[in-house]
Structure 1
């Protein structure tokens, strides 16, 4: 008799947990960005953005995420050369689209290989439409000194840095349209 009562109680508890999990918002919606944004704000001019990005870069001391916007679209080899000192490239932006997440190169690969493979995947998904072959911007993670070194290269139009407590997947990215792009 006690076994049956415990069995019924266990079944009711399991059913309650499943119902709770089903109606819980955390299981239905992706977590929204927590307020941090990279890229131009609505109505912001490119020159104003460059100034704002420069101020964020000047204050960057700790390891943080940053949007590196190229002065003009770069091919995979050029982008890899500009980003050589960077510890982590998290995503690339092509044709002002949403960022495409990137893995780190595996043994025997370079960032150029990763860029080329991802551009190939994009091309495969755009059958019959001209596909992008160049990269407009990337989201990276590194220390302020490294980000400033990247920003000093002529191929880079702007580097905007988030606060060091920003977490991957918790901030938004708006692509930046450069005058050359």
Structure 2
């Protein structure tokens, strides 16, 4: 009799926990939109995007760090991208082809950005082994960086940079979206 009562009580408690979990805000409500986005809007031409990116760069504060999407005129090797981005305070992610951004760590002692880029490309290649005839990426198409407006405006003048778009200074890593830019 006691065992039967305990079993019924356990089942009731389990059902109660499931009902509470279903009604909990964390599992019931959809995630709110993040707000900020980098990259082209749906249906936006590259020319229109470039103009919008240029305006955002002009508005970037000179002495305060902001996140920016740096799109290259043509895909760069890890060495070329490393040289180009050597003076940037932080490279947060790289974009390969039109894939979602791959988060990147900072280089450790004795390494440069080229080493970080190459290691991530090698990791991507290893994950594609045995998949079939999927092309293995060897170049970077864009990066997400963080630095002050003056440094970013200087970077935008490089011939390898097709467009550089910035976010407001209050944007937080992981709380904005990134859409890769297709360069004609």
CA distance 1:100–1:17, shift in 2 (3 Å): same
- Deviation string 1:106-152 (CA, Å, 9 cap, x unpaired) is 11111100000000010111123220000000000000001011100
User: Within the alignment, does 1:101 sit opposite 2:103 as a pair?
Assistant: yes
Aligned equivalent of 1:54: 54
Counterpart secondary structure, 2:105: coil
| Alignment pair present for 1:67 and 2:69 | yes
CA RMSD of aligned residues (A): 2.2
Structure 2: gaps spanning 5 or more residues: 1-15
Q: 2:121 corresponds to which residue?
A: 119
1:158 equivalent in alignment to 2:163: yes
Q: How many residues align?
A: 164
Q: Could you tell me how far apart the structure 2 residues matched to 1:17 and 1:109 are?
A: 51
Deviations for 1:23-46, whole angstroms, at most 9, x for unmatched residues? Answer: 644479996552100000011000
TM norm structure 1 = 0.83
CA distance in 2, matches of 1:125, 1:110: 23
Give the one of 154, 168, 179 matched to 2:173.
168
**Alignment check: 8 A CA contact 1:31 1:170 kept:** no
State the Cα deviation string for residues 7-64 of structure 1 (Å, max 9, x = none): xxxxxxxxx9998678644479996552100000011000110000000000101211
Q: CA deviation at 1:85?
A: 1.1
TM-score normalised by L of structure 2: 0.82
**Which of 71, 89, 92 pairs up with 1:90?**
92
1:145 matched to 2:150? The reply is: yes
8 Å Cα contact 1:65/1:142 also seen in 2: yes
Rounded Cα–Cα distance in structure 1 between residues aligned with 2:150 and 2:71: 17
Return 5+ residue gaps in structure 1 as ranges.
1-15
Larger CA Rg, structure 1 vs 2 = 2
